[in-house]
Each structure stands twice: as C-alpha cells, then as structure tokens.
Amino acid sequence: MQRLGLVLLAAFGVTTYGCAHGASAGSHDAVAAELGPVPTGAAQVCVVRPASRYDRATAVTMRVTDNGRLVGATQGATFFCYLARVGEHQIASSDDDTGPLLLRARPRARYWLHQDVVELAGEVHAHLDWVDESTGLEMLDACDARVRVAVPGHDDETSAQPIAPAKM
C-alpha cells in the first residue's frame, strides 16, 4: 500500500475526459453519470483545478494527500477523483499554508474540492476549498483533462480509482 503513492506519482499522466467548455446542465449530468455510482462502504472525492490566470502556476504539479497518503495530483486545468473509506480524513494539497481539510466521509457520498493554485510573492501555492456538486460540475467546464492515476493491478482501466483508508 505504501508503494501506491510512488506508483501514482510515477504514473501521473493525463487522458482526455468530458470537460467541454460552455457545457450545459445536461452535460453536467452526463459527466456525473460518467463518474459512476459511488461504491458501498466508500465515498468519492473529486479534486477540480480549473484554469489558472497565473501562467507559472499552470506548469506546477500539485500533489494531494489523504491521511498522509498520496491520492493524486493536478497540473494545469485538470481534475481527478479517488475513493475514501467511510470515516475521518485529513486532505491536504502541496504548498497549502492553511493546513489540511477535515472530511467525515459518509457511505456513497460524493465530495468536491476546488484546488485554487495561485502565485504569491513569486511562489506557487495551492488552496483547497469544499464546493457543492453543482459548483464542482461547473468547474469541470474550465478543465482540459482528467488526470489518470495508476492503481496496481488495474493499469488498463481508466475508471480505476485509488482508495484512501479512514483514520483509525
């Protein structure tokens, strides 16, 4: 399981996904349907990083951890989703000065995080904020691609998602 973080980092790649610009509410339903149902005993967390107005920030990869374990990363206007076991989670983004966010994951729930990447005093920082599903789906309009993460034993399955255990 410890190797999962290394596998995710090493396999960070981008694959095209349904992030059409100017999408209608109907296309939001299509994207939500493509994300699929959330399995029993887990929640789904989607991290959305819409286009940044800071040129330098676009090229920077920002890692996201859940309870200290790498679950994905963004670069430019991208997003990714992962599964979280029911229970307590501390979710953090690299270079986030505000510290981790707390999530008490409920079964079959979907949560949306906006990863705002900004340049302050020449340094690039990421900040995570919870948004509702409607806002999260709207933010997908500003993304170019879905980040594809590698899950051991599921290399050819684009829908495979890592799962983060809850805190004990």
CB atoms within 10 A of CB 147: 24
Q: Is 32 left (phi over 0), alpha (psi -120 to 50) or beta?
A: alpha
Q: State the chain's mean pLDDT as an integer.
A: 75
**Strand, helix or coil at 125?**
strand
Q: Is the dihedral of CA 12, 15, 20, 25 positive or negative?
A: negative
| pTM for this model (two decimals) | 0.74
Rounded CA separation 31/140 (Å): 9
Q: What is the residue extent of each domain of the chain?
A: 2-164
pLDDT, tens digit, 9 for 90 and up, residues 93-124: 987 777 899 999 999 999 999 999 888 888 88
The helix (H) or strand (E) run that includes residue 29 is: helix 25-35
pLDDT, tens digit, 9 for 90 and up, residues 2-27: 333 333 333 333 332 333 333 444 55
